[in-house]
Structure 1
Amino acid sequence: MKQTKIIGAAALAIATIPAAAMAVVPTLYEEQAARAEEERIIQTPLGGIDGKHWYNYRANVNETQKELAGDLRGASDIEDQRDAWEEYGTELRHERSTYVKAMVKRGYRVPTVYIEGI
């Protein structure tokens, strides 16, 4: 009976180690910056015009997301992960600015909200 309790306690301790270890892992700066860029992904076409520029933008964003997943799967160390996240954030920023520039050229603007008094 005493041996069963010791084995049970040891199994419980071993089962909780991975969860505790994962909770301590800090987020990379590059990942935080990329996540901020992710929040800025345009969800609806500017001016309600869903032409070739919109579809190209969405296709490029999707491809960039797939590329990140592949890069993270192939990452062998922390530096590879940092490079993958940095490239992802940079590509998202580039795709957004390319789409916005194309739409501004056609006379459409990115909606901006200003909040005063804060």
Structure 2
Amino acid sequence: MKKWTTLAVLLALPASVAAGGLRYSPPAGFETPEIRDRPIAGVYNQYWYNYRADILEAEKELGSDLRRATDREDRWDAWDEWVTEVVDADKDYTKVMRKKGYRTGRVTIGG
């Protein structure tokens, strides 16, 4: 049931949001983490959809926090919280995919 609920949420969202495009611009000098636009090993499973739902929830919360922000510090706190949630979602996703036997690609150049 959860898988279908997550899928319904993703289908109901605008395509730009579902594709991972942020609707908000981070403050100058703020580094944002990379958000996956494709699943690990090209496997679309419940873990991928849970990851995407987590990212969308983090963006929704970011928007809410930014609307309530009254000063620069509030905006930075909102972005910091968003980064934490995005990194946590990616960590959870890669961990479960590793347990399932899928590995993320890593390129090493040099020695």
Q: Same fold (TM over 0.5)?
A: yes
2:74 aligned residue (71, 80, 83): 80
After the TM superposition, which residues 88-99 of structure 1 pair with which residues of structure 2 at under 5 Å, given as runs? Answer: 88-99=82-93
1:112 aligned residue (92, 106, 109): 106
After the TM superposition, which residues 1-118 of structure 1 pair with which residues of structure 2 at under 5 Å, given as runs? Answer: 27=28, 32-33=30-31, 35=32, 37=33, 40-116=34-110
Q: CA RMSD in A?
A: 1.6
Give 5+ residue unaligned stretches, structure 2: 1-26
Q: Which has the higher helix share?
A: 1
Figure out how many residues of one structure are paired with residues of the other and give that number. 85
Q: What letter matches 1:101 in structure 2?
A: K
TM-score, normalized by length of structure 2?
A: 0.70
Equivalents in 1 of 2:40, 2:79: separation in Å? 27
For each residue in 1:61-114, what CA deviation from the matched residue of structure 2 results, as whole angstroms up to 9, or x when unmatched? 011111111111110112211110110000000000000000000010111122
Percent identical:
44
Greater Rg, structure 1 or structure 2?
Answer: 1
Equivalents in 2 of 1:68, 1:43: separation in Å? 19
Moved over 3 A (4+): none
